[in-house]
Structure 1
């Protein structure tokens, strides 16, 4: 059986040497987040801060900081989940190992939450106020204190109950901006989130939407809140399956139910028509998400258990702790992808690029097997299916290849995926744009809030070019462009000065550069050119290349090409593709740490410091 609550988990991790108590006073304003990020980067343990400045509650950081520790936390149930996934994918294969089926029915019994009375709910034992909670601020320009591991619970207004409930991890701001202290909290949820359906129904009915925010409790609750579950499966059911026990929910008269073993619960409701400014906040693309109007919760009560622990994380340029979340979720659900998207063999949302900006996929070409694979056909149908599937629809760049061209290609070997695609792609034929569409709420490279474009790059068939693997000789460049470097085989990075352009306005200097290369062609071994503010930084590592290129460009306005032309409404180019990945004036600012605090934290980790050995 898995952990019933967070206290059991903390004790077990400490017993196994996977958690370290930090006894020195730690400030939740910037300091706790910086320490957690450092320890995560070092692959360190979970951290229990026992003396939190300004709050009586201890804070737990880096709980899911490594994939190995995440697997350990759920070790009792992974086998059952794997069996149930196999039954969905291939029942005959599962039946070949009947011994593994024994736990599946028992695991299914945990899908249904159970109701308990208030007297059986530690979560309702005590009351406090918002200002008494740890006031976590992760980055210097954050708009206030945020809950970074919230579980936001709502039920369908016209169909109340667990069956149509939603549990999601949406950002919750508990102080700052125009929120009334101790009375209001901001609720930032993005498009394609389940709570939006409930909110829309409340607006339709002209009534307030009841919402509870849970913090802590069984670790399975946090994972369930971020799971991309199939339609019709409540997150509470998955939490029971992953946690190895039915989730106990306590009724609260006039309010939504509360997990009996939660550490904290904020109870309230949303005015369906009211918003307040929320943000800014450092986010997982590595930039600030800016201030925008979002719904807010009118708080009725804040409950907590007597031994409550405040779990938290800190988000920023990946990889961060949410990277482990993503890897763990892929392990649980990866085998289901072909059952949801026929013909698709694998999908990889690239964490280093901020997840939604770049999606890789391997599909199949079965339309004309008698004719051999010579160009993308079925891949285009599969690309449309991917972009119509839940949160995958937020992808900005989708790169898709055919399994038949290389059955051994590993989708998680990103360098190999790029090389495979760039060797085969025909820039005149294989680019497919969607303009004036939705992208990730946190991506400011597009034409406006929640607005941007998409580009599908589909490659299938024989190798078309041999990619350059090292720069040889001089690269012909006009004035204004400098410091050429190779980021990957066939990928040239150039440094260019920033241009003061309106959003969507074409850069005449890049157009002139493309015209220059029409007259003095680049080597055939260069397939892609990226324009960056700092070519050395962009080309220094694969992660830098992915982050710069795909978070700082909008396909419809930032993609150019040498010898570009539009034929039958289809844009393409016969020379290299060019992507402008420089920062623009309308982009959100990148995250930067406080230098003075960096010095203090580094001193704490010095050989004589209390954090020595953690990072």
Structure 2
């Protein structure tokens, strides 16, 4: 049986030495978030801040900070969920383990939420200004709820069966929000709440919204799960909790999670938006101020012993990385059942998740051909880009399973080596030049607007990759300094970008022209132009972050000896990606030096974090 609420979880983790109480008075503005990030990076325990400055509620951070701790929290139900996943993949598994059929129906009983009158969350009422005012980064536009569970139901077909529980950003102070009356609701495209919002607009109705904070730990995981269309997140939360999620009904409001620590109830005017942001986000940059819906708050409830869970996000890896790894463990085996022919898909966390997908799939078309070429891979790539949040990817690299059956997408270095040994830039690039990308990605032509490229490789090795900077390499004016990121990948420092949004840059075209008659990049099929080649090459994660968060395929991919054949673009020499910071990009997240010094003091001898950070 899993935890019914956050209080049970905290007590258990503390008794097992997996949670540390921090009694030092720390400010929810910048300080507490900085501590959580540092402890996460050190692989440290969950943190309960019992004395936050100007805050009456204890704050819980880093709860899901390690994959091992996340597995432990849900240890009682993981086997049941794996059983149900396995049954979907292979019903014949019952012949090997017939007792599993006994478990499956028992777990299925937890799919439906339970209606209850016992609701600790309704014990007390408060106001928005009395909630913890956590500000994670110096340029954030106000305080945000960073682990919200936003609950809505279909206006056309209300009820649990058409509900959505999502982790959408909620700003509770700042900007022009009316104090204690309004909060910002930022949801990205391709989110379940968007359908409910569209229905409300069509009907001319208000959209009712409840924001839960805390409660059963399974609720937070369910809110970020990429579930199949039609499966309510509350059902998955029940499976993961090992018990039905108790909900309470209040007159005129949506159902409320009875064991939640907090609940904000309100309505969204479907025709009204307000400025929301900035906010330091998980790509490692600020998402800027834009118009988003706002919730008109009607009530704020909390339980008497309420705990406020939070996280901070920033350049990966962060705590949401552990979320992603746990979700992949649960859902990874289902991917081949969703898209025929797919073996693996990896949304690369170090590149901000949505910018970069790596995939392995079958290439079975024309099996009698003398040489394998990407054909079925392209069919499968289109199917991948039509799946839920995967549709927001900018770069999809897809390899043929038959070429290397032991290759895995989570070994990024090996995967890139495999691709770059085989790719033919003259025919293996396939663009979508005007389409949707992640709301948080500012590399494109506008908010939610950008491009995609599929890079497919199949067949034998075409080239040998180099791992050393070419001797005597010369550079055109304003360029200089080169470092090897990976075998076959060379980073080159370029001049400061003056590129306009949605336009290509003549400076990079001139770079490519400079080398058109010079055979300088033998063994380097990929060149990355960046602001600091040494930084990009210092670590694999640096290369992934710089290259794929700072480039838009349609405007930032160039080629040496490029050519057009009909409407198809390719190049005979190296592919060049312009991954410099552009004038229209959002600023990167930078820690406050004074705050970091205070965190250092907490880790000094005698400090509460000594031996942890």
Equivalent-residue separation in structure 2 for 1:373 and 1:41 (angstroms)? 46
Confirm or deny that 1:42 pairs with 2:50: no
Match of 2:396 among 395, 398, 422: 398
Aligned to 1:7: 7
SS at the partner of 2:238? helix
- Equivalent pair of 1:135/1:145 in contact (CA under 8 Å): yes
Aligned to 2:205: 207
SS at the partner of 2:516? helix
Confirm or deny that 1:80 pairs with 2:80: yes
> 1:533 offset after TM fit, Å?
0.3
Confirm or deny that 1:188 pairs with 2:186: yes
Equivalent-residue separation in structure 2 for 1:89 and 1:168 (angstroms)? 26
Aligned to 1:410: 408
Aligned to 2:104: 104
Match of 2:457 among 445, 449, 459: 459
> How big is the alpha-carbon RMSD for the aligned residues of Structure 1 and Structure 2?
0.8
Confirm or deny that 1:344 pairs with 2:342: yes
> 1:130 offset after TM fit, Å?
0.6
SS at the partner of 1:557? helix
Confirm or deny that 1:329 pairs with 2:327: yes
Equivalent-residue separation in structure 1 for 2:271 and 2:484 (angstroms)? 51
Q: How does 1:111-510 map to 2 (within 5 A)?
A: 111-117=111-117, 120-371=118-369, 373-510=371-508
Aligned to 1:531: 529
Aligned to 1:32: 32
- Equivalent pair of 2:470/2:520 in contact (CA under 8 Å): no
- Equivalent pair of 1:86/1:94 in contact (CA under 8 Å): no
- Equivalent pair of 1:345/1:362 in contact (CA under 8 Å): yes
SS at the partner of 2:92? helix
- Equivalent pair of 2:488/2:524 in contact (CA under 8 Å): yes
> 1:366 offset after TM fit, Å?
1.0
Equivalent-residue separation in structure 1 for 2:371 and 2:316 (angstroms)? 36
Confirm or deny that 1:597 pairs with 2:606: no
Equivalent-residue separation in structure 2 for 1:397 and 1:371 (angstroms)? 28
Equivalent-residue separation in structure 2 for 1:86 and 1:296 (angstroms)? 41
- Equivalent pair of 2:470/2:521 in contact (CA under 8 Å): no
SS at the partner of 1:197? helix
> Cα deviations across residues 304-360 of structure 1 (Å, max 9, x unaligned)?
000000000000000000000000000000010011000000000000000000000
- Equivalent pair of 1:54/1:132 in contact (CA under 8 Å): no
Which segments of 5 or more consecutive residues in structure 2 lack a partner in the other structure?
A: none
Q: How does 1:507-522 map to 2 (within 5 A)?
A: 507-522=505-520
> Cα deviations across residues 374-396 of structure 1 (Å, max 9, x unaligned)?
21000000000000000000000
- Equivalent pair of 1:365/1:373 in contact (CA under 8 Å): no
> Cα deviations across residues 480-516 of structure 1 (Å, max 9, x unaligned)?
2111111000101100111322113322221111111
> 1:99 offset after TM fit, Å?
2.7
> Cα deviations across residues 67-123 of structure 1 (Å, max 9, x unaligned)?
000000000000000000000001112431123332211100000001112xx0001
Equivalent-residue separation in structure 1 for 2:146 and 2:336 (angstroms)? 32
TM superposition outliers: structure 1 runs of 4+ over 4 Å = none
- Equivalent pair of 1:83/1:94 in contact (CA under 8 Å): no
Equivalent-residue separation in structure 2 for 1:461 and 1:357 (angstroms)? 26
Structure 2 length normalisation: TM-score? 0.99
Equivalent-residue separation in structure 2 for 1:600 and 1:33 (angstroms)? 12
> Cα deviations across residues 456-477 of structure 1 (Å, max 9, x unaligned)?
1000001100000222412132
Equivalent-residue separation in structure 1 for 2:94 and 2:470 (angstroms)? 54
Structure 1 length normalisation: TM-score? 0.99
- Equivalent pair of 1:431/1:572 in contact (CA under 8 Å): yes
Equivalent-residue separation in structure 2 for 1:386 and 1:515 (angstroms)? 35
Equivalent-residue separation in structure 2 for 1:246 and 1:470 (angstroms)? 58
Match of 1:543 among 541, 544, 548: 541
Equivalent-residue separation in structure 1 for 2:453 and 2:49 (angstroms)? 45
Equivalent-residue separation in structure 2 for 1:477 and 1:455 (angstroms)? 28
> Cα deviations across residues 545-585 of structure 1 (Å, max 9, x unaligned)?
00000000000000000000111200000000000000000
**Alignment CA distance shift 1:373-1:157 (3 Å):** farther
- Equivalent pair of 2:155/2:196 in contact (CA under 8 Å): yes
> Cα deviations across residues 172-205 of structure 1 (Å, max 9, x unaligned)?
0000000000000000000000000000000011
Equivalent-residue separation in structure 2 for 1:150 and 1:523 (angstroms)? 49
Aligned residues between the structures: 613
Deviates more, 1:506-515 or 1:417-426: 506-515
Equivalent-residue separation in structure 1 for 2:378 and 2:67 (angstroms)? 34
Aligned to 1:63: 63
